Amino acid sequence: MKTFDYIRPASIAEAVAAATEPGAAYLAGGTNLLDLMKGGITRPNRLVDVSRLPGLDRIERLPDGGVRIGALVRNADLAHDPDFARFYPAIAEALLSGASAQLRNAATVGGNLLQRTRCGYFYDVASACNKREPGAGCDARDGENRLHAVLGWSEACIATHPSDFCVPLVALDAVVEIEGGAGRREVAVEALHCLPGDTPARESALEPGDLIVALRLPGDARAFSTHQRYLKVRERTSYAFAIVSAAAALRIEQGTIREARLALGGVAAKPWRARAAEDSLQGARPGPDAYRRAAEAALTGAKPSGDNQFKIELAQRILVRALTLAAAGTPERVAALPASPFSALSGALIDA
């Protein structure tokens, strides 16, 4: 690990000023950043430790019925907050399906939003990676790429965004509050992450020094709380990133879907909101035919970036499963294996 200056600012304004310098990085939980620094993938000159900034570790109810979550709230604390888990159960389930208990105790809400891709070529400093070193090329294009993107990718980069948390967040119209040199502004989580295009090194809408201070969920998202799920296929039962994941939230009245919210994870460089699929479900009767049509709409335009054709069909099946589970109703408690399509019984499907 390259050495760095360590700064612990006392206020948000001090933090933003200190982090606006080139080569500076914010440190909160450190669970992704320290790993990247140990591998030489990220080499900051200065760490601005925001982990003790006052006032950013609260979960507050808003007048519209929504919730405001401080950027330093730990993943585990948010997932186990009873009110939050009741009103936004798919988000709690997504949080609990990510990483390990140790990591969820350390990782923060703000950091999770900004975690980096787990593309093996991004992590291997001996490989060419346009994200790590603009113009270097992309060794993933002709490499081991069965887990890479099938939507929104470019010749320059086929990496995926690894967050589980972000998938139901974009489905439910979450917004981040950002403090920067020019004051405070808001950005929808859906607009926070960038597709690679020709500039895969630019991953988010943040400018140098910008600090995510809070995440907000609107009160109207609570209308979906009784019919929502997050489902995630992994290469092992627990403690693994998604091959493909899906968040499905439904508002069902008198046997008809009034409104649907859908998003996919593991398929693109950003959490993928599937608006055309949502529209196709509006006014439909819940059932396999409507779900399959929605799933096909969600994957319109998908194409393999390598040995990952299977992810296109897998994503559709996971969306159908997620919709089926959402329509059946949010369970009383998050499943023992959060977001898993499998149960401990070999070959058995959970909740299906």
Partner 1 sequence: MNLSISLTVNGARRDVELEDPRVTLLDLLRERLQLTGTKKGCDRGQCGACTVLVDGRRINSCLALAISHDGADVLTIEGVARGDQLHPLQAAFIAHDGFQCGFCTPGQIMSALGLIREGQAGDDPERVREGMSGNLCRCGAYSGITDAVLEVQKSLVEANQRRSA
Binding site for partner 1 (CB under 8 A): 1, 3-6, 8, 27, 30-31, 34-35, 38-39, 47, 49, 51, 76, 80, 99-103, 105-106, 237-239, 336-338, 344
Closer residue to partner 1 in complex, CB, 74/148 = 74
CB of 95 to partner 1, least distance (A): 13
CB of 328 to partner 1, least distance (A): 20
Distance in angstroms (rounded) separating the CA atoms of residues 241 and 232 = 9
CB of 231 to partner 1, least distance (A): 16
Dihedral through CA 235, CA 40, CA 48, CA 166, nearest 10?
-20
Closer residue to partner 1 in complex, CB, 7/187 = 7
Closer residue to partner 1 in complex, CB, 277/339 = 339
Closer residue to partner 1 in complex, CB, 20/51 = 51
Closer residue to partner 1 in complex, CB, 29/196 = 29
**Unique residue bearing structure tokens 């994200």:** 131
CB of 101 to partner 1, least distance (A): 5
CB of 45 to partner 1, least distance (A): 12
Closer residue to partner 1 in complex, CB, 47/138 = 47
CB of 100 to partner 1, least distance (A): 2
